[in-house]
Amino acid sequence: MADTGFNAFKMAQEQFDKVAEKLELDEGTKELLRSPMREYHFNIPIRMDDGRTKVFKGFRIQHNDARGPCKGGIRFHPQETADTVRALSMWMTWKCSVVDIPLGGGKGGVICDPHNLSQREQEAICRGWVRQISKNVGPVEDIPAPDVMTNSQHMLWMLDEFETINGGRYPGFITGKPVGHGGSLGRTEATGYGVVFTLREACKGAEIDISDTTASVQGFGNVSQHAIELYHKYGGTTVCVSCWDQGDKKAHSFYKQNGIDLKELRGITDRFGSINKNRAEELGYTILPGDEWLKQEVDILIPAALENAITGENVNDISKKVKMIAEGANGPTTPEADRILHERGIIVIPDFLANAGGVACSYFEQVQSNTNYYWSKDEVIGKLDTKMTDAYYAVMELSKRNSISLRDAAYMIAISRVAEACQLRGWV
Q: How far apart are CA 239 and CA 241, in angstroms?
A: 7
CB atoms within 10 A of CB 296: 24
b/e sequence 386-421, b meaning 16+ C-beta within 10 Å: ebbeebbebbbebbeeeebbbbbbbbbbbbbbbbeb
CB 287 within 8 A of CB 267: no
321 among known catalytic residues: no
> In the set 64, 214, 334, 355, which binds ligand NAD (CB under 6 A)?
355
- Among the residue ranges 26-34, 204-212, 322-330, 333-341, the one whose residues contact ligand NAD (CB under 6 A): 322-330
Instruction: Tell me which residues in 154-193 interact with ligand NAD (CB under 6 A).
Output: 191
Nearer to ligand NAD, 150 or 237 (CB): 150
- Among the residue ranges 146-154, 276-284, 365-373, 411-419, the one whose residues contact ligand NAD (CB under 6 A): 146-154
For the residues of 161-179, what is the DSSP string, one character each? HHHHHHTS--GGG-SSPPB
- Alpha-carbon distance values, 19 to 12, 23, 106, 412, 414 (Å): 11, 6, 21, 6, 10
> In the set 98, 126, 148, 419, which binds ligand NAD (CB under 6 A)?
148
Nearer to ligand NAD, 223 or 337 (CB): 223
Nearer to ligand NAD, 62 or 355 (CB): 355
222 sits near ligand NAD (criterion: CB under 6 A):
yes
How many residues contact ligand NAD, by CB under 6 A? Answer: 26
Determine the distance from the C-alpha atom of residue 190 to the mean position of all C-alpha atoms in its chain, rounded to a whole number.
Answer: 11
Q: How far apart are CA 83 and CA 326, in angstroms?
A: 24
Beta bridge pairs of residue 75: 109
CB 395 within 8 A of CB 98: yes
Phi, then psi, of 79 in degrees rounded to 5: -105, 25
366 sits near ligand NAD (criterion: CB under 6 A):
no
Nearer to ligand NAD, 32 or 243 (CB): 243
- Active-site hit among 107, 177, 295, 387: 107
Nearest approach, Cβ of 291 to ligand NAD (angstroms)?
A: 8
Instruction: Tell me which residues in 277-316 interact with ligand NAD (CB under 6 A).
Output: 290, 304-306
Nearest approach, Cβ of 388 to ligand NAD (angstroms)?
A: 13
330 sits near ligand NAD (criterion: CB under 6 A):
yes
Phi, then psi, of 381 in degrees rounded to 5: -65, -35
Would you call 262 exposed, middle or buried from its count of C-beta atoms within 10 A (0-12, 13-18, 19+)? middle
Nearer to ligand NAD, 315 or 329 (CB): 329
Nearest approach, Cβ of 333 to ligand NAD (angstroms)?
A: 12
- Alpha-carbon distance values, 157 to 96, 119, 146, 181, 267 (Å): 25, 11, 12, 11, 27
Nearer to ligand NAD, 31 or 270 (CB): 270
Interaction pattern, residues 226-265, with ligand NAD; x per rule: CB under 6 A: ----------------xxx------x--------------
104 sits near ligand NAD (criterion: CB under 6 A):
no
Interaction pattern, residues 399-418, with ligand NAD; x per rule: CB under 6 A: --------------------
Would you call 86 exposed, middle or buried from its count of C-beta atoms within 10 A (0-12, 13-18, 19+)? buried
Instruction: List residues near ligand NAD by CB under 6 A.
Output: 147-149, 191, 218-224, 242-244, 251, 273-274, 290, 304-306, 328-330, 355, 358
Give the active site residues.
Answer: 107
